A = this chain, B = another copy of it.
Amino acid sequence: MGGDHGPPVVIPAVVRAIATLPEDVRFLLHGDEAVIRADLAKHPEALARCEIRHADRVIAMDEKPAQAVRRGKGSSMWNAVEAIREGQAAAAVSAGNTGALGGISRLILRMVGELERPALVTSVPTARGLTTFLDAGANVDCDAERLVEFAIMGEAFHRAAHGTPRPTVGLLNVGSEEMKGHGEVREANRILREGKIDLDYKGFVEGDDITKGTVDVVVTDGFSGNVALKSMEGAGRFVFGELQVAFTSGPLASLGYILARPALRKFRDRLSPPPAAPLLGLNGIVMKCHGGATERDFAQSIQACVDLARSGFTAEIERNMRRLPDALAEHPAAIAPEGAGAAAPEGVQE
């Protein structure tokens, strides 16, 4: 029922996804039965793979998450997530209210580790492929342990989504030297450097490394993560806007634009991030598709969801999460002393 368009986009997307998915992938469609049935009637070939689960209530796109959590029971979103806990579904995908989906998922599925709420992972296009980037804004306050949890989850996600056997991981900071940054990133760096967590950690990276593709997975707190992503989006939009101005600045430039247009379109497609991202850190796979998703976007999100459910993703996260207490135990209070003084004058950046 979610997203800007609801069933008229979601149902055709399911039909489209079914065409390429293995035969044993089946769908539970949660929502207004009459509406879903009407949309599904146009695609009799998909009927056998779908089961409609009626829900009386729908969570609105603009509903306050706290309220959605309190009063969400019995809504289509609630039921979709509950089906995971009950073992009826391997994963859930929704284009609905992000905050509500995070809150409801956390309440029903509970978090792995000690994260407060699910981390949002994004895939950023680079010259070399896609960088997995998290947290995109869910956890604004993060200590070193949270950052290490993100590293574990992001690494497993990248492998599941892209098939890279051993993704490389970097920690976002304001410089690449060990003494750069605040206490939390320095401590997370120490834990990851030590090697008790099983991943290919490459150390600190900087903001421009996200689009350079220096590492496969870039980890940061939800505040910096959200700021970085929105800033990059803004910069991209600004560049496109200015390009538009340049291309309409005279007849030659306009002609140039017409000739280059097909190449530029392909270029624009390359820059678009995937339409969906999982909420990470839950005991279960919940995929958030963006609200304005088209049929193609939503079908792609379903495919990504199936890939994730069929990968070793969840088990890999659990395996590394079990190593975390041991990795932390060595450094009971190791954050402040080292480098705090030395870092001071270095803090001034070029």
Contacts and interface: CB of A to CB of B under 8 A. Distances in A.
Interface of A: 64-66, 68-69, 98-103, 116-118, 120, 125-127, 136-141, 172, 174, 181-182, 206-212, 220, 222-224, 226-243, 245-247, 249-250, 252-253, 255-264, 266-267, 270-271, 279, 290-291, 342, 344-350
A236 B237 contact: no
* Protomer copies: 2
Given A98-B349, A99-B346, A271-B239, A227 B182 contact: no
Given A242-B127, A243-B267, A222 B346 contact: no
A239 to B, nearest CB: 5
Contacts of A252: 259-260, 262-263
Contact of A181 (B99, B118, B140): B140
Given A127-B242, A347-B140, A348-B118, A207 B228 contact: yes
B208 A234 contact: yes
A197 B247 CA distance: 44
A117 to B, nearest CB: 6
Contacts of A206: 226-227, 230
29 contacts: A65-B345, A65-B348, A103-B348, A116-B344, A117-B348, A125-B238, A137-B349, A140-B182, A174-B222, A174-B223, A174-B226, A174-B227, A206-B230, A207-B231, A208-B237, A209-B234, A210-B234, A211-B231, A212-B234, A228-B231, A231-B232, A232-B234, A236-B239, A239-B239, A247-B263, A253-B264, A255-B256, A256-B256, A256-B263
Main SS of the interface on chain A?
helix
A264 B235 contact: no
B141 A345 contact: no
Contact of A246 (B137, B263, B290): B263
A347 to B, nearest CB: 5
A349 to B, nearest CB: 3
A206 B234 CA distance: 10
A291 B161 CA distance: 41
Contacts of A227: 172, 174, 206-207, 220, 224, 227-228
B224 A224 contact: yes
Shortest beta-carbon contacts, A-B, top 8: A207-B230, A208-B234, A256-B260, A256-B259, A102-B348, A137-B349, A207-B231, A65-B345
A233 B210 CA distance: 11
Given A259-B259, A350-B291, A231 B253 contact: no
Contact of A232 (B64, B181, B235, B271): B235
Given A229-B207, A256-B259, A260-B253, A66 B174 contact: no
A253 B271 CA distance: 18
A187 to B, nearest CB: 14
